Structure 1
Amino acid sequence: MKVAAYHLPSQVSGCEVETRALGTVTLEVPRITPTLLTEVIGHLQRARERLRKRKGQEIAEILAEVFRRWQDRTDPFRQDAEAALPATTRFSPGMVAHGLDLLCEGYTADAFDELLQGIGDEEALEGFVHLGSQLSRAYGPALITHVLAGNIPGIGLPGLIAATLLGSASLIKTASAEPLFPALWAASVAREDPEIGECLAVLWWSGGRADLEAVAFDRAEVVIAYGSEQTIHELQGRIRCRFLDHGHRVSFGLIGREALARAEGVADRAAYDASLFDQQGCLSPHLFYVEEGGRMSPREFAELMGAAMARWAEQLPPGLLTVEEAATVRRFRAGYEAQELAGKEVALFTSPRGLDWTLIYDADPTFIPSCLHRTVLIKPVADLLEVGGLLRPWRPYLQAAGVAVIPERIGMLAGTLGHAGVNRICPIGRMQAPPLTWHQEGRPLFRDLLRWTDLEV
């Protein structure tokens, strides 16, 4: 299968295309030079002058229709994605199809309307408006450069959507591990509205190309980047404009003793969160704290969740591991097997089919990230409020907490988690389906992109 893993404004000409093989898929990508990138940015900026005159509400309706069409499995872009993404991402076909459905369900007209409300007054993008006691006007960036990671398809979409709603042009540098989905999405936007499509460019080039990065970063007003700590650190030294970074983050879950009265359902939802995207996202839970004193012990819950992990491995089969990833999982298991043999209060529940999933009960409550690839730890605590102190060393990296507690306890627990540095608290079973308006890394993305001018008269 051959598919274009790029999207360019229609007026860009003379682009030399080469191919990259990823598994059974051959990707077509342009050969990028500083001259070509400069030409692309020039087209984006000219197209943006037309887009910025359009109402955000009108753009929102178009984007909602784009995602509605993606939900149709007979749509050509959806079919290309389902056919090619298992090869580029190494996720199973079932996981790719389910992940695309989950992705699209959150991008609706209502969600875009709610995001637009984050401006406070959309008219502020068109002229000075009264905000409190002063006149203010908001300006969206002319050009935003997006540097994407390749761990899961759709990463970076909130930033792209926010940029488009603001009438900004977007230059999207894709990851070598997954360069396809952003290109298919941009092409589907262009199909729906060619004028918006002219404001999107999706390109891949190998990391570390200082000549290309100088063009991509120096011409942008904002850079949004996803990646490892090392990637973010390296980019910070080369970017002089506003830089919104999304680096390494960890998530986890908490299960109250009262929730263990419905342990089967909680275990199923927790296993789903840990299985989705093979635990590769920043919202994937590494471990679950289970409160003692419930209908069953935390160790018994671990065994129950192991059975749920096995069921989800049938429904959403895991993808293929590289040799290095498989070795990492084996080493992680071996460390806990050694503790169990040494008499520590540890128990392993593992897939009978090898490395499909790993569930570890460990009585030591210390927060320890897992090695991913559907590897989950269950740790007991006497009281969930104790978890705040256990999280302290990980404060800079905390992202989401999935919770299963009775309503009477959520307020105090949420306060503890918020003080600890958690940015999103949600029910277990919805950890990887955040609303478009969530404050990723604790920041309001939409307002982060705006520049304000105040007029005092």
Structure 2
Amino acid sequence: MKEGDPLRTKALELLPQASGLSVQMARVVLDGMAADWAEDRLLGLLENEFGTSEGLDGFVKQDGCRTMAIGADLCVQIVSGSVPGVGVTALIRSLLTKAPTLLKPGRGDVVLPVLFMQALAVVDQDLADHVAILYWSGGSSDLERGVLDRASVVTTYGGDESVESIRALTPVTKRFVAYHHRISVGVIGSQALTSGLVEQTARDVAYATAVFDQRGCVSPRSIYVESGGDTTPQAFAEYLASALESIENDLPGGHLELEEAAALHQVRGAAELLAVSGSPGGIYHGEKASWTVIFDPDSELRSDHVGRVVRVESIENLSDLIKRLRPEKEHIQSVGVAGMGTDLDEFAEELGRIGVSRIAKFSGLPFPPSRWHHDGGSPLRDLVHWVDLEEVGG
């Protein structure tokens, strides 16, 4: 969406209040998400998933037979509301497979799906007639069961408990695609800690931390810094704090509700107690802003879902990191990297073997490309079923 587009203007007017993001951050999130809704990106996604879109229109030759991908009679998309734009992405994926879709957006992600539908109706009313957007409060079992009974494919995004509750209501005959609770982390090798690079590295990490206010699955909760480099892990925490303070001027954090502010106070208080207890830790945070950097060299991986909280931890080497991450292998999605050098391919393979599905530079971490294998799967192929037509003669 270009500057001055009435749809973009309306979205930016409504998003901050609906999502809790600042006006500046809402602009970054909208532009970053909408980039993958462009025609060329979607055509690239279709090609990446199917080789050609012709297989959605009829039978095509493949491996000695002819095959066709068929979309669902009804795809139900149940989406959490933590990140604006996810609902539109989910809806577009269904439509690309020619599936009529019912979208249940999250409470914080209603604006963009509704505006998308209004725009769709202008250019293709028939296609828009095959989409419904319906919001209801979570836990409405009777309503959800009625919806799920009519679906062919059910896709749900959310925390483990909410995904499990939808799975329990979904008949076993329905295809179920789950995007459950995920978190991301970062790792910084010694090559990115030199005097000429460390400040830029910190700025890149600060950007990845700031986007979405740490609400996204792609948000890095912990940054693992290799010891023995020109910059110590604790010194890097200080660089990161300075970068987060600076980025607050251009991309301020969003509004915290009372419960969120209380949770942030609790997180900071626990870290401050650790710092004054003689443990080798430290905490750096804004006075009025939510950004918080906690240096804790040996802490377990945590998911502080409040404000821009990020933990910095030290590692001796990459093998040490693999050991630390392995217990959380079912929940780690993306890993931001810097300073890996020639070790990157081997390290990426090791990460893949413990469940990581994406490795990216920090500046690209917030917005995966449309073609990415979402949580290790295929975002379109997972929504279709295949029909193979073998040679039957006469």
TM-score over 0.5 (shorter chain):
yes
Which letter maps to 1:268?
R
Shift of 1:406: 4.2
Q: Which runs of 5+ in 2 are unaligned?
A: none
Please list, as runs of the form range in 1=range in 2, the aligned pairs for 1:69-148 lying within 5 A after superposition: 71-117=1-47, 118-148=49-79
> 222-231 vs 177-186, which deviates more?
177-186
Secondary structure at the residue paired with 1:95? helix
> 399-408 vs 209-218, which deviates more?
209-218
C-alpha RMSD of the superposition: 1.6
Secondary structure at the residue paired with 1:376? strand
Residue 294 (structure 2) aligns with:
360
Alignment partners' CA distance in 2, 1:215 and 1:199: 19
Work out which of the residue numbers 217, 222, 226 in structure 1 matches 2:157: 226
Q: Which runs of 5+ in 1 are unaligned?
A: 1-70
Residue 239 (structure 2) aligns with:
304
Which letter maps to 1:73?
E
Shift of 1:356: 2.2
Residue 329 (structure 2) aligns with:
395
Q: Is the 8 A contact 1:289 1:384 kept in 2?
A: no
Where relative contact order (Cα < 8 A, 6+ residues apart) is larger, the structure is 2
Residue 25 (structure 1) aligns with:
none
Correspondence 1:321 to 2:262: no
Please list, as runs of the form range in 1=range in 2, the aligned pairs for 1:29-428 lying within 5 A after superposition: 71-117=1-47, 118-240=49-171, 241-261=174-194, 262-353=197-288, 355-364=289-298, 366-428=300-362
Secondary structure at the residue paired with 1:248? coil
Which letter maps to 1:312?
I
Residue 385 (structure 2) aligns with:
451
Q: Is the 8 A contact 2:61 2:67 kept in 1?
A: yes
What does the per-residue CA deviation read over 1:251-306, in whole Å, with 9 as the maximum and x for residues that have no partner? 00000100112011110010010111111111101010011122211111110110
Which letter maps to 1:446?
L
What does the per-residue CA deviation read over 1:10-64, in whole Å, with 9 as the maximum and x for residues that have no partner? xxxxxxxxxxxxxxxxxxxxxxxxxxxxxxxxxxxxxxxxxxxxxxxxxxxxxxx
Shift of 1:374: 0.4
Secondary structure at the residue paired with 1:445? coil
Shift of 1:235: 0.6
What is the percent sequence identity of the aligned residues? Answer: 33
Alignment partners' CA distance in 2, 1:449 and 1:112: 16
Shift of 1:365: 5.2
Secondary structure at the residue paired with 1:137? strand
What does the per-residue CA deviation read over 1:323-343, in whole Å, with 9 as the maximum and x for residues that have no partner? 111111111111121111110
Q: Is the 8 A contact 1:158 1:436 kept in 2?
A: no
> 401-410 vs 278-287, which deviates more?
401-410
Which letter maps to 2:128?
G
What does the per-residue CA deviation read over 1:157-191, in whole Å, with 9 as the maximum and x for residues that have no partner? 33322211222111111223432221111111222
> 225-234 vs 395-404, which deviates more?
225-234
Shift of 1:228: 1.6
Correspondence 1:438 to 2:372: yes
Q: Is the 8 A contact 2:202 2:243 kept in 1?
A: yes
What does the per-residue CA deviation read over 1:426-451, in whole Å, with 9 as the maximum and x for residues that have no partner? 00111111011111221111111110
Alignment partners' CA distance in 2, 1:174 and 1:111: 23
Q: Is the 8 A contact 1:149 1:226 kept in 2?
A: yes
Q: Is the 8 A contact 1:287 1:370 kept in 2?
A: no
